[in-house]
Structures are given as structure tokens and as C-alpha cells.
Copies of this chain bind each other. A is one copy, B any other.
Amino acid sequence: MLKLSIIGTGNVAFHLARAFSAAQGVNLQFVAGRDLEKLKTFEEFSATLNLNKELEKTFYSDVILIAVSDASIAAVSQQLMESKALIVHTSGSTAIQILDQNKRCGVLYPLQSFSKEKELVYKEIPFLIEAKLQDDLGVLKLLTESLSANYFTVNSKDRAALHLAAVFSNNFTNHILTEAKQLCNDHNVSFELLKPLMLETVQKAFSIGPENSQTGPAKRKDTPTINKQLSALKSAEQKQLYTLLTQAIQNYYER
């Protein structure tokens, strides 16, 4: 039985605590955090600890997962120097070297977007793992397997690239959908009707490649439709997004 502690009370900590508390072969011993109010929501998963007073109780876990903001990883890892546990952060864009002063260290980065409201299907989430020592890679594999998730051994440089591509795709697509929903609301039509189109957009991008799926007025240089659509947009921001993305598509297919 792998003894695990988690440090942090954000969305990633919450989802991993919930998942590992139910996982076979893992004993979630402690969740430690500074925000005592948020920490209460973790009581159903394990014992909880005030990070400022009782952190040393986590030292005897086999693995300590640091699921805090990128900016706080270094400070938290300093406080764990005396532990013999495998110290692991969960950040996509932070190199493993930030944990170099800890004897045993690694990274376990779930390539997924976490919101408190929505349950996750772990078997569909790729976990990118990395460890200083080869043996510890085996421990990280055990952790991901306990969630029935897929793991991929990826170094810090490649993980940062995937994280950037993920931010690019997830954050920006989500904002485009936000503006599309606004457009629907402005015209009193149902945003929901776009769901099959968007699911197909993503399926197609990954089956035949997004560069083979581009359609629409920008790709076919249909200037009358572009002008008609531009003038139908009300907000300056939507016009600016429309113009830049239309231009970007045209430039791309001219290359």
C-alpha cells in the first residue's frame, strides 16, 4: 500500500485527493494546506493538516504530491527537505530541477483542465511523468495505474511544450466559445445548438488533422461573406478577434 500525502487546496489538489482517496493500492494519509476553510472540503478524503504547523506529519508518507501554484512550489519543497519521501510536483510548465534539493523528486502532470464542478474520467487523462531516479519512475507509474490513467514519460522541456500547446488550445478555444455564446445570446438563439459542431470540430482535428479540416470564408477567401460577418459583429473585441483570426488563417494557407 503506497502512503500518499497531498499539499494544496486548489482544483488540482481537490480532484487528485478525491481520486486517490478512492484508488486501489493507495492510502491517502494527509492533505495539508494553508487555507483552513478550503481544507475542510478535503475532510471526506483524508486527515487534513495545517500546512504552517503540522507539515512534518506528511514526512513519513511514501510520496508527497505538491499541488500548489507554480510560484509556491519552491517554498513548499524547501519545507520538505528532511523527508525521505518522493517529492512530486504537478505543474506542466515547471521543470523538475526546482525540486533538485530534495533527494528523491519527480513530476506528475495531468494534461487536463480541472474545475471543481466537474467530475473527471481518469482513464482518458494522459499523465506526464518524470523522476530524478529510475526507481521512482516506477512509483509514479503505480500512482497513475491506481487511477486507471495512461502515463507518458516526458522530460521537463517537452512537458513545457505540451503545456504551452494545451494552454493555447484550451484557454483560447474556451474564450472563442465564450464570445460565440455571447453572439448567440445577443441574437436570442440557443448556444446549445453549436455543441455537435464543436465536438465534430475536435474529433476531426484529431482524426484527419486540423490543417486538413479548415473550412469557412477565411480559408476560401470569400471577402463578401467576411465583410458581411464583420459588420454583423457588434463588439469591438469580436471584430478584432474575427479580423486577426481570419488574417491568420489566410496567412497560414498562403505559406
List A residues at the B interface (Cβ < 8 Å): 70-71, 93, 111-115, 117-118, 120, 124-126, 128, 152, 154, 157-158, 160-162, 164-181, 183-184, 186-202, 204-219, 222, 224-225, 228-229, 232-233, 237-238, 240-242, 244-245, 248-249, 251-252
Check B187 against A161 for contact (C-beta < 8 Å): yes
CB pair B175 A93 closer than 8 Å: no
Copies assembled: 2
Distance between Cα atoms of A154 and B173 in the complex (Å): 27
Residues B188 and A195 in contact, CB atoms below 8 Å apart: no
* B-chain residues with CB within 8 Å of residue A202 when the two chains form the complex: 173, 177, 195, 198-199, 201-202
A253–B170 alpha-carbon span in the complex (Å): 17
Given contacts A70-B225, A180-B168, A213-B174, contact A111 B237 (CB under 8 A): no
Give the residues in chain B near A174, CB-CB below 8 Å: 201, 205, 210, 213-215
Contacts of A187 in B (CB 8 A): 157-158, 161-162
Measured in the bound complex, the distance between the Cα atoms of B208 and A177 in whole Å is 12
A210 to B241, CA, bound (A): 17
Contact of A249 among B70, B175, B218 (CB under 8 A): B175
